[in-house]
């Protein structure tokens, strides 16, 4: 959710997730979404996890398996996001535009970690 904007370019909110999941034939309730966002433990069906993987553009195995694979780009974006948070960076729009390759994202993260 932190690294992938919705189709409108804004962070994912419930209506965006609901609509994207419905386009795949699955309904995500507001309660399910709120619990997911809050990190509250709940029983999640494989069908829901597959729908959410489609919404966020990750492989279903990433959500279904404890050590499921993550695309190089998403992994680099998560590394950069952690580095940005540690460095107090609040906004980095180029990262969300998809115009920076994974290697460059990792290098930016390395530089931020060195500065912090």
Once rounded to an integer, what is the mean pLDDT over residues 62-75? 80
Cβ atoms of 111 and 81 within 8 Å: the answer is no
Residue with tokens 């489609």: 54
Return d(Cα 116, Cα 114) in angstroms, integer: 6
Taking residues 19-28, report their average pLDDT: 90
Q: What is the reported pLDDT for 97?
A: 47
pTM: predicted TM-score of the whole model, two decimal places: 0.57
pLDDT of residue 1: 55
What was the pLDDT predicted at 4?
57
Contact 58, 70 (CB under 8 A): yes
pLDDT at 22 over 90: yes
């Amino acid at each position: 959710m932190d690294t992938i904007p919705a189709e409108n370019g804004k962070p994912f909110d419930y209506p965006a997730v609901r609509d994207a999941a419905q386009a795949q034939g699955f309904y995500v309730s507001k309660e399910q979404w709120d619990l997911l966002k809050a990190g509250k433990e709940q029983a999640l069906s494989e069908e829901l996890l597959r729908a959410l993987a489609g919404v966020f553009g990750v492989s279903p195995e990433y959500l279904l398996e404890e050590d499921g694979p993550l695309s190089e780009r998403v992994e680099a974006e998560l590394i950069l996001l952690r580095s940005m948070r540690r460095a107090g960076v609040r906004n980095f729009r180029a990262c969300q535009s998809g115009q920076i390759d994974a290697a460059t994202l990792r290098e930016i993260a390395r530089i931020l970690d060195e500065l912090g």
